[in-house]
Amino acid sequence: MTNEHYLIVSHLAAAGLGLGAVLGTAAILAGPHREATGGSLRRLGYLFRRVFRPWLVLAVAFGFVSVSYIDCDHGNYQAVVGDRDHLHEKSREHVMWMASSLAVAILVYGFAMVPLLWARARKARGASPKTRLRAAGTDDRKGGLVP
Amino acid sequence: MLSVLCFMLYAVLVSGVVAALIGFARKPMFELFRANAHMAPGARFYVRAFTLVIALGAVSAVAAYHGPCAEQAQDMTFWDCLWRAFDQLQHVLLVACLFLLGYVLLVTFLFAVLGRYRDE
């Protein structure tokens, strides 16, 4: 296999691996994610469910494009394809960046889920400000205390 | 041949570290999420996400493995192999520590927000 072919094959393999990682991650987390985003906040949960997969795809795509083949020793295409070790190194970098971006994306998404669970808990307890006002015998639409 | 053994040894060490981390943290995490009914829906998601985060962090560290160069590979001994594996393992441990720290922060934040509710 020539270095040009290796470059093409390694790009395609890295892209396939990234796509596989996204599909695998989405499949592993699909059931628990539905469980966490279901319940009383239907619209917000729906938004989270719609956004989850694109979020993972964006993270892996970010990792994929974060690899630069051009550096001080390899200033142009000819220099890049002339060095097989450099191509090996960059293929490994693709995997490294995609895996770490995906891991960070899952972690960040976990933080984003906290307000959703909190809002669900508040709704379940009936602790929204409006409900509390009603429960306390006041209604802001009528401008004060309800007799 | 020894360079392959180096990588195998490294992969075994990484798998051991990852399996130990996941094994130690899973049960306490499930118990934490049983604190009340508001945290329970997120239990499976957060525990599985934890497993994935640690495993992907390890994959990323393994992908950064640098084998011995051609001159070094010729006259390698078992000890060279072991030292190289330990040397590379520091990346895995650092990445695992960072992701573990991130996850502990996440679970602490989650517990601070939702853990104060009591089931009625």
Q: Please report the DSSP string for B64-110 in residue order.
A: T--PPPHHHHHT--HHHHHHHHHHHHHHHHHHHHHHHHHHHHHHHHH
Neighbours of A87 (CB within 10 A): 19
The answer for residues whose C-beta is within 8 angstroms of residue A48's C-beta and 6 or more apart is A33, A37, A112, A113, A116
pLDDT at position A135: 44
Give the total number of structural domains in chain A.
Answer: 1
CB contact under 8 A, A113 and B56: no
CA atoms of A29 and A106, how far apart (whole Å): 10
- pLDDT score of A134: 52
The neighbour count for residue A59, using CB atoms within 10 Å, is 24
User: Tens of pLDDT along A122-147?
Assistant: 887 775 555 545 544 444 444 444 44
Residue from B7, B60, B97 to probe the interface with A (highest A Cβ count within 10 Å): B60
Enter the DSSP assignment of B42: G
Q: Is A35 on the interface with B (CB under 8 A)?
A: yes
Q: Which two tokens stand for residue B75?
A: 């006259």
ipTM value of the model?
0.86
pLDDT in tens, A29-56: 999 999 988 877 788 889 999 999 999 9
Least confident of A137-146, B62-71, B107-116: A137-146
pLDDT given for residue B72 in this prediction: 73
Q: B53 by DSSP, 3-state: which?
A: helix
**Chain segment B84-102, per-residue pLDDT in tens:** 888 888 888 888 899 899 9
Q: How far apart are CA B18 and CA B72, in angstroms?
A: 29
Q: Do the beta carbons of residue B91 and residue B58 sit within 8 Å? A: no
User: Would residue B111 be called left, alpha or beta, if left means φ above 0 and alpha means ψ between -120 and 50 degrees?
Assistant: alpha
Question: Which chain B residues have a beta carbon less than 8 Å from that of A106?
Answer: 49, 52-53, 56
Percent over 90 (pLDDT), chain A: 51
- B42 near A CB under 8 A: yes
A104: pLDDT confidence band, cut at 50, 70 and 90? very high
Contact B104, B31 (CB under 8 A): no
The whole-number pLDDT of residue B67 equals 73
Token pair in block for residue A85: 């070790």
Place of tokens 């142009």: A76
Domain housing A70: 3-145
- How confident is the model at residue A34, as a pLDDT? 92
Q: Which residues of B touch A22 (CB under 8 A)?
A: none
